Structure 1
Amino acid sequence: MNQQFEQQLQSSWQERQDYAERMQPIIGNLYRNHAVEITVYGRTLLNASAIDVIKAHRSVRLFEGEKLKLRESWPVLEAISQMKLSPCEVDIGKLAFAFHYGAAKDQTDLVAYLRSVLVDVVDQNDSQEPKDVVLYGFGRIGRLLARLMIERQGKANKLRLRAIVVRGGREGDLEKRASLLRRDSVHGPFNGSITVDTERNAIKANGSYIQVIYANHPSEVDYTQYGINNAIVVDNTGMWRDEEGLSQHLKAKGAAKVLLTAPGKGAIKNIVHGVNHRDIVDSDIILSAASCTTNAITPVLKAIDEAYGIENGHVETVHSFTNDQHLIDNYHKADRRGRAAPLNMVITETGAAKAVAKAYPQLEGKLTGNAIRVPTPNVSMAILNLNLKVELDKETINQFLQQTSLFSKLLHQIDYTASKEIVSTDLVGARAAAIVDSQATIVAGNRATLYVWYDNEFGYSCQVMRVVRDMAGVSIPCIPL
């Protein structure tokens, strides 16, 4: 009996692995040649290993209470691969589950069902032109943005990383820049091949040719001499945060628009994708992607406010240390930040609570905030203490947030975990702006305390890329919601 059980178990695993390995080339081809990204309940399968594909399918049971077998989603993927689709994101997990167990379970014609769901993108021409992107600065966020763009390299790719601009130019600088892209102490090795072209000052990565431009000021750069035109310049240096400073980028030939990866000052729109990205118009030439914490908390606050109403609240962020702090005690103009970051918890300020109102004005004046920097290199947490307009319980608010993470327009911003064992390092590389820790939720009457994790580097970089996509006019519908 035990031997028979073991054989069945092994056979079942082998079947799943076989299907996953058959899926991989189709998933890659759909994206590289047609800009169609395949997901399973919001989890991208682009560049996923066979094990990752299997794990994505296993996660469906956590949300639906039923297994989704790879042999059930395989026909969906196979049918989609035979269709002519315009750029989009297709969740084969949701489509397969609906066809076998959900609203479409009475239908017998899979292709007819898929064509009805994909009606807005099937047999449509792709008229979207690729857009040049330049990274001004190549620090923590800059290198992650580079990874995100390079992983989507292909002839159908709509955002092309053409250049990075950095100071320096000393001997060996190019090799060091490439090495930092190749290896990362937090996010691990680069997934692919990187070589250096010293003669042309360029980095070649997975088929991308990235010009490295040395300049101390935007006015020194002429992008057109490198064949770069109408580019979106992503400033991740933080040197300039107002319109006057950032407009210097627009004086460089070949630059058309600027995105700041930090909170913008003055009248600059601070965009939190999923919340106010529809405020972006073609005439916007300078925008801000706000801060990592603002991107983490605003989507959750918006969802809660629209569902239950927020009277007021306090946001406490437990944030990993950053380059703004010192490794050992040294002078710093800000209070306490001069103390050794790897050795201390440091109470400091955060403008994220007030910044929420720039993206979601309904909470203007309703939130206070503070921050504690802690001795971890990445992944932070926001604790939202909220007074709501209604009374409810933990199960209700958790169920609402889970459904929001799966079936709402905030599905790319809000993720959800029911794990009792999850800790910060488990969330390195999380692509969502926020991950709600349902096990830590506390509700008493109209008072709710939510614990929200976020990868303040990678998750934020994913949000930045979504804003870049909107600035470029690239439309990628998500089917189904």
Structure 2
Amino acid sequence: MTVNDDSFTDWKNREEIAESMIPLIGNLHREQDVTILLHSRSLVNKSVVSILKTHRFARQIAGEELSVTETLPFLKALTTLDLGPSQIDIGMLAATYRADERRLSVEEFTAEAVAGATGDNKIERREARDVVLYGFGRIGRLLARLLIEKAGSGNGLRLRAIVVREGGAQDIVKRASLLRRDSIHGQFQGTITVDEASGTIVANGNEIKMIYANDPSEVDYTAYGIKDAILIDNTGRWRDRAGLSQHLRPGVDKVVLTAPGKGDVLNVVHGVNHETIKPDERILSCASCTTNAIVPPLKAMADEYGVLRGHVETVHSFTNDQNLLDNYHKSDRRGRSAPLNMVITETGAASAVAKALPELDARITGSSIRVPVPDVSIAILSLRLARETTRDEVLEYLRNVSLTSPLKRQIDFTNAPDAVSSDFIGSRHASIVDAGATKVEGDDAILYLWYDNEFGYSCQVVRVVQHVSGVEYPTFPVPVA
């Protein structure tokens, strides 16, 4: 047998193992509301090749071998336990088991590591929480995709309605088509049908009512059977408490804004300050995509090295706020053609840091350039640290943060030498540290942070909604603080 034959045989064996994992992952998700992760990446509804690629990527960033042959025993062990709703990272289980010196069996170690999700510690399944989308643009449609995806277990969040201004003939058909096909994010994973007579979109069995209204005051959500809903305003039309309070109509309990909030509206970056949300808070903001991209790594660096001051320069993909061709715009420069120019503009991300990370006693400044790409941006974070360090130390620290810390869902890490922006389309992290571009000299550090300003941000929004709705299930093994 040749070397090539050996490689091919190994691949086929790993394919067979990955295929055997799919029904185990699916049953845990549907029957026990358990989401199986691999280093923060969900394996639910993934193909054989996707499972293998996720293992391969985990090996790359972890620097150690990790294959399906190692993770399958932990997955099998989980199927024997009476688990409650939770997220369980089999990559972390494999890594911590390898470092454990007690010589426990896989079954014993797994039962101990996820004990918080079993027995008296097990939380009960909760009723699905109604969600309403107010607006159905770029972020609204990605939120719809995520909410439909997360409804697979029949619990958690349930998208009940979408509120828009009617656009004319076949409005619902055209909006369903935009949900079905996306030029950047690809095809919707599943099936979508439209019932024009009832004004309903059915996506993967989820019935979603299309409500037409020009103003929040026109809608009584209880008329559609909606109760205690979380309404996500992704229009950006209102940003202060008075404006957003208009959404607190019959059937709506809380309002979440997908833009920076003004005044006393709490700006939340999941993973950093979401625990500060008070149970009785009814209006909050998820800040901006750039704020979500820079605050988690800024917190990580401040925790380990201290930060005296910093500057963030964002090189941001163009958005619908800009003009396709030169035309009037209320803002300076944004009226110039977005796909033809680099456009200097302002960013509120730097000033928003103080709202999400008030304990950071450092001045952070910021500026932004819009560039002719439709999605994925990069933030260049230049920091003066409180102590000197080395590039290798910073990279090793951030790599570990991305794998084992409470910020591992927010911060990703890549050491791919030829990474470019399109590689990060569809990333579910708030930002991705580019190891190859990182620069450190003494107490100066420059981090290059990629982020999918559409999808990664939408994932952060959904995490906040899950938290305030009470369906953000615990993750095991518990990340190291």
Normalised to the residue count of structure 1, the TM-score between the two structures is 0.97
1:112 Cα shift? 1.7
2:131 corresponds, among 129, 133, 139, to 133
Matched, 1:302 2:289: no
Question: Distance in 2 between the 1:219 and 1:187 partners?
Answer: 33
* Amino acid aligned to 1:432: H
Q: Would the alpha carbon gap of residues 8 and 444 (structure 1) be closer, same or farther in structure 2, given more than 3 Å must change?
A: same
Residue correspondence of structure 1 range 416-431 to structure 2 within 5 A: 416-431=413-428
% identical aligned pairs: 54
Number of residue equivalences: 476
Match of residue 121 from structure 1 = 117
Secondary structure of the equivalent of 1:313?
strand
Letter in 2 for 1:138: F
Question: Mean alpha-carbon deviation: is it higher for 132-141 or for 32-41?
Answer: 32-41
User: Which residue is equivalent to 2:71?
Assistant: 73
Q: Which runs of 4+ in 1 moved over 6 A?
A: none
CA deviation profile, 1:85-107 (whole Å, cap 9, x unmatched): 111111112212333x3215x42
Q: Is the 8 A contact 1:32 1:152 kept in 2?
A: no
Q: Is the 8 A contact 2:29 2:153 kept in 1?
A: no
1:274 aligns with 2:267: no
Structure 2 counterpart of 1:184, one-letter code: D
**1:188 and 1:443 mapped to 2: Cα distance?**
37
Which runs of structure 2 are paired with 1:30-429 in the superposition (5 Å)? Answer: 30-99=28-97, 101-103=98-100, 106-123=102-119, 124-168=122-166, 170-250=168-248, 252-363=249-360, 366-429=363-426
Contact 1:315 1:369 in 2 (8 A): yes
Provide Cα deviations, 1:234-269, integer angstroms capped at 9, x if missing partner. 00000100001100000x210111000000000010
Change in 2 beyond 3 A, CA 1:125/1:200: same
Cα offset, 1:306, TM superposition: 1.1
Shift of residue 28 of structure 1? 1.8
Post-superposition shift, 1:399?
0.7
Instruction: Give the drift of 1:201.
Output: 0.3
1:125 and 1:274, CA in 2 relative to 1: closer, same or farther beyond 3 A? closer
Unaligned runs of 5+ in 1: none
1:270-301 deviations in Å (ceiling 9; x for gaps): 00001100011210000000000000000010
SS at match of 2:65: coil
Instruction: Write the letter of the residue equivalent to 1:82.
Output: T
**2:454 is the alignment partner of 1:457:** yes
| Structure 1 residue 34: Cα displacement | 2.0
User: How has the CA–CA distance of structure 1 residues 404 and 432 changed in structure 2, closer, same or farther, with 3 Å as cutoff?
Assistant: same
1:421 alignment partner AA: D
Deviation, 1:362, is 2.7
1:48 positional shift:
1.4
For structure 1, which segment, 142-151 or 73-82, has the greater mean C-alpha deviation from structure 2 after superposition?
Answer: 73-82
1:440 — aligned with what? 437
- More moved, 141-150 vs 34-43: 34-43
- 1: CA distance, partners of 2:280 / 2:219: 23
Q: Distance in 2 between matches of 1:153 and 1:239?
A: 28
Greater mean deviation of Cα atoms: 330-339 or 153-162 = 153-162
Cα distance in 2 between the residues matched to 1:141 and 1:167? 16
- 1:64 Cα shift? 4.0
Cα RMSD (Å) of the superposition? 1.3
Equivalent in 463, 474, 477 of residue 477 of structure 1: 474
SS of 2:223's partner is helix
Q: Give, in angstroms, the shift of residue 364 of structure 1.
A: 5.4
Q: Structure 1 residues 402, 111: CA separation in 2 closer, same or farther (over 3 Å shift)?
A: same
Out of 38-47 and 333-342, give the one that drifted further.
38-47
In 1, Cα distance between equivalents of 2:433 and 2:442: 20
Residue ranges of structure 2 left out of the alignment (5+ in a row):
none
Cα deviation, residue 130, structure 1: 1.6
CA distance in structure 1 between the partners assigned to 2:167 and 2:449 by the alignment: 41
Deviation at 1:449, TM superposition (A): 0.7
Q: Does the aligned pair in 1 maintain the 2:61–2:415 contact within 8 Å?
A: no
Letter in 1 for 2:252: A
Cα distance per residue 1:172-210 (max 9 Å; x no partner):
101000000000011011111000011110100111111
1:40-71: CA deviation from partner (whole Å, max 9, x where unpaired): 12221122111111122223332444322312
Shift of 1:156: 3.8
Which letter maps to 1:437?
D
CA distance in 1, matches of 2:317, 2:63: 35
Q: 2 CA distance for matches of 1:416 and 1:147?
A: 25
Change (3 A) 1:89 1:127: closer
Matched-pair contact (CA < 8 Å) for 2:308–2:361: no
CA deviation map 1:111-162 (0-9, x unaligned): 2211111111113251422210000000000000000011122344210011
